[in-house]
Chain A
Amino acid sequence: MSLLRRLRYQLAIFFSVVGPGFITAVVDNDAGGIYTYSQAGARYGYLPLWTLLPITLLLIVAQEMCSRMGAVTGKGLSDLIREEFGLRVTFAMMLALVAANLTNVMANFAGIASSLELFGISRYISVPLGALAVWLLVVKGTYERIERIFLFATALYVCYIASGILVKPDWREAAVNSVRPVLMFETGYITLLIGMVGTSVAPWMQFYLQAAIVEKGVTAKEYAQSRVEVIVGCIVMSVIAFFIIVACAGAIGSAGPRDIRDAADAAEGLKPFGQYAFLLFAAGLFNASLFAACILPLSTSYTVCEGLGFESGVNNKLSEAPIFYGLFTFLVVVGAGVVLLPGFPLVRMILFSQVLNGFLLPFVLIFQVLLVNKPRLMKEWKNSGAYNFVTWVAVTVMIGLTLTLVGITARDMLK
């Protein structure tokens, strides 16, 4: 085989393995996630690293259920909720999802703005251009092309691994803290740990993943492969999170622990370790924000239109799916627009989105477990007794932590 052919073959293998499960897990590290992990490293150094292991497990349990349901039923999560729990429940859920995701979109456009400001580009240029790019990419590109661009974007997360290495952190310390749980009864620390779990599982991901599995036409028989992909995706997500924490711990946390304002502030903190560490961190932030700014509005529009029975999909023309494209445009325009409004309470909105996510997630997870246990839907692929136990424990832990986070955030907002 010629070298070129072999390369093409290997790329084909890569793209066949890397799919919805991988994309979902990686997009999980969006602007909000990066901020949380940076803050963890900058404030507490290597100490919070141990949480990544349980987070990965929780994430795998949640994601695995979704992808299994998608493969077996061939239907999206919002479809199933509508069929089994009726229109009112679905409508209320979609309303909350749109609100939560709108604020998530804002956070990511803010991420685009602040990351490019590190390169000296004004937000009044970067944000409108970013929004236009997102809109055109989705509306004018076909689905297959979009997915390829997305897959390419996942490769750019390597930036974080590189910047983590460039900072020359204390690897021994990092390794020890990855497996040694440290609990301090300090409000800031506890809040941070909960925040890390909270940002790791977001309601939109569950909807997006299941829809993407269905869209890809994965069948129950081929599901084993998707399960591997979901697990690999979750691990990769944690590895990236690990390097973000390590980079900030090495650069900021071990020199002079402090709170950071946003993810761009963390990038600034990397500057003493060379231009590249800084550049890569900033580029990673830009990539992640743009990526999430594409997927979030798209996935929200899909989910809502599916659940409420409107025509959806990027293969439709504008006139064939007006509500789908209308909602998508609304999310992009408003999400990007508010970042440019002087005096808009952006931070408050992002905290608010965390609260909304937190309120929504228990419902999503509980519906998921109920659905995945319906023999009529899942047949022999429903949860086994032991797995169900694990699932309920995971779901309960996650709900408990999320609601605690909601409480803490709400308290901060009222302060």
Chain B
Amino acid sequence: MHDILFLTELVGLKVHDLRGRGIGRVKDAAIVPLIDVNRVDRFLIGGGLAWFSIRHDQVRSIDLDGIHLSDEKLTPYHADEYMLRIVRDLLDQQIIDAEGRKVVRVTDLTFRVRHHHGHPTLNVEEIDIGLRSIFRRLVQGALPRRWVRVLQQPIPPHSIDWAKCNILEADPMRRLRLNISNRLLEEMHPADLAEIVEELGPDDREAIFSTIDAEMAAETLSEVDPGIQASILESLDTEKAAEIVEEMSPDEAADALTELERETAGEILEEMEREDGEGVRELLGFKRDTAGGLMNTEYVTLPHQAVVGDALAALRRDEDLLESLNTLFLVDERERLTGVVPLARLLLQESATPLVSLAAETAISVHVTEHQDRVAELFDKYNLLCLPVVGEHGVICGVITADDIISLLRNE
């Protein structure tokens, strides 16, 4: 006897009482995740008309020939909300493979048999998804279990570690009772999670976005296809949606909101904190295919006379921005753009050096109403990483970065 057992082998296994009489066959097995996320807690047995359930510690032995019980107590089965029933709730359903970053369909499960206080327990070890498990499912019940084990050998196995699987459950109450967290998803890269989310149905999408933390949700949502973005935001309650949109960068937030119905977008804006809401509102006023529609409002400006020391102090105040920032802008007393300073040039300077001396020779900028094609041309022509956007009288009002242009070109 190997120390593993497949679900396809467990289902239909004969159950014997103390005197060795057959009393029924295994129909399903249940985990109670609040107690133990791996161990099969109950076996559901069908014999005659009714189903009954057997606790894991009532089992004396378990192998390919059957299950032998260690006592006579049989409890009638009744639906229990704390049970995750493997055949009903997991088999043939979609789950997320957090390590492989894919949505997969459960074809079979592998249990490891462990001995615990003198009785054997089944512990879910892997989710099986490949051809080998399909073969087992197809011949299940038609061929003897031992033959199947031999015959499957030439087919390569394909399984996923149970610890790396994230179960999908759309009902929030059930998620609590079954102790399903989306912790594994929060550890993924937002771009990977976005791809997964796109593959799922609307209910599962909503469930994921309402449970993961707002920052991760915002980063993920920014990566999702615009149409799906809108349907996700619409499905969430306004409060949660506002919380997520707040965490997005203003230009991405504005893009997401323009896809929504006017009314829904308005409600979300109402719900947002004033400061964030206003930035987004401003951007919403621009046409989508213009520089104004492309730009975001996350940039740092400094007075024309400022020195390197001032710049460093300003950056310390705005640490959130650092990750994506590569340029500083110099402005006069009326906020008109006067110079562009590449951030990297600060590195080698004394703190008293005036920023003007570090500015690029020509300050290229673009007007808010300029068409996006022209903006892309400028990026290409001058090899830009970012491009300031100016409004009336040359007042700076936003910045377009290279990643905006990449998404623009890819969408074309």
Contact = CB atoms under 8 A, between A and B. Distances in A.
Interface of A: 72-75, 79, 82-83, 86-88, 91, 217, 219-221, 308-309, 311
A91 B104 contact: no
Contacts of B129: 309
A91 B201 contact: no
Given A88-B137, A309-B129, A221 B105 contact: no
Given A91-B138, A219-B202, A221-B231, A82 B225 contact: no
A79 B105 CA distance: 9
B148 to A, nearest CB: 15
- Candidate in A79, A83, A309 with the most chain B CB atoms within 10 angstroms: A309
Contacts of A75: 201
B105 A74 contact: no
Contacts of B203: 74
18 contacts: A72-B202, A73-B201, A74-B202, A82-B105, A83-B92, A87-B92, A87-B107, A87-B138, A88-B137, A88-B138, A217-B225, A217-B228, A217-B231, A220-B202, A221-B231, A309-B105, A309-B107, A309-B129
Contact of A217 (B94, B134, B227): B227
Given A91-B138, A311-B102, A83 B93 contact: yes
Q: In the A-B complex, list the 10 residue pairs whose CB atoms are closest, starting with the nearest.
A: A74-B201, A309-B105, A219-B231, A217-B227, A87-B137, A74-B202, A217-B228, A75-B201, A73-B201, A82-B92
A82 B202 CA distance: 18
B200 interface: yes
A221 B105 CA distance: 27
Interface in B372-401: none
Nearest to B140: A88
Nearest to B228: A217
A87 B134 contact: yes
Contacts, number: 45
A319 to B, nearest CB: 14
B202 A308 contact: no
B99 interface: no
A70 B137 CA distance: 27
Nearest to B411: A144
Nearest to A379: B203
Contacts of B204: 74
A49 to B, nearest CB: 40
A219 B234 CA distance: 11
A384 to B, nearest CB: 21
Contacts of B92: 82-83, 86-87
A219 to B, nearest CB: 4
A259 to B, nearest CB: 44
A91 B234 contact: no
Nearest to B137: A87
A328 B375 CA distance: 41
B199 to A, nearest CB: 9
B231 A308 contact: no
A309 B129 CA distance: 7
B201 A308 contact: no
Interface string B101-129: 01011010000000000000000000001
Contacts of B107: 87, 309
B134 A308 contact: yes
Nearest to B204: A74
A220 B92 CA distance: 24
Nearest to A82: B92
A87 B225 CA distance: 31
A308 B92 CA distance: 9
Contacts of A91: 134, 138
A53 B277 CA distance: 54
A241 B228 CA distance: 36
Contacts of A83: 92-94
Contacts of B225: 217
Nearest to A80: B201
A223 to B, nearest CB: 11
A125 B92 CA distance: 45
A87 B135 CA distance: 10
Contacts of B202: 72-74, 219-220
A75 B203 CA distance: 11
- Candidate in B104, B201, B225, B227 with the most chain A CB atoms within 10 angstroms: B201
Nearest to B108: A87
A79 B200 CA distance: 11
Given A74-B205, A86-B92, A91-B134, 12 more contacts: A72-B202, A75-B201, A82-B92, A83-B93, A87-B134, A88-B137, A88-B138, A217-B225, A217-B231, A219-B231, A309-B129, A311-B102
A220 B107 CA distance: 29
Contacts of A311: 102
Contacts of B93: 83
B409 to A, nearest CB: 14
Interface in B185-214: 198, 200-205
A221 B264 CA distance: 13
Contacts of A73: 201-202
A373 to B, nearest CB: 18
Contacts of B231: 217, 219, 221
A73 B107 CA distance: 21
Nearest to B200: A74
Nearest to B232: A219
Contacts of A220: 202
Contacts of A74: 200-205
Contacts of A72: 202
Contacts of B205: 74
Contacts of B94: 79, 83
A119 B402 CA distance: 51
A308 B94 CA distance: 11
A309 B201 contact: no
Nearest to A320: B102
A87 B8 CA distance: 12
Contacts of B137: 87-88
- Candidate in A72, A219, A220 with the most chain B CB atoms within 10 angstroms: A219
Nearest to B224: A217
Nearest to B202: A74
A185 B134 CA distance: 49
A198 B86 CA distance: 41
A217 B230 CA distance: 11
- Candidate in B102, B105, B129 with the most chain A CB atoms within 10 angstroms: B105
B85 to A, nearest CB: 15
Contacts of B234: 221
Nearest to B93: A83
A144 to B, nearest CB: 9
Contacts of A88: 137-138
Nearest to B198: A217
Nearest to A144: B411
A87 B104 CA distance: 14
Nearest to A70: B201
A88 B107 CA distance: 11
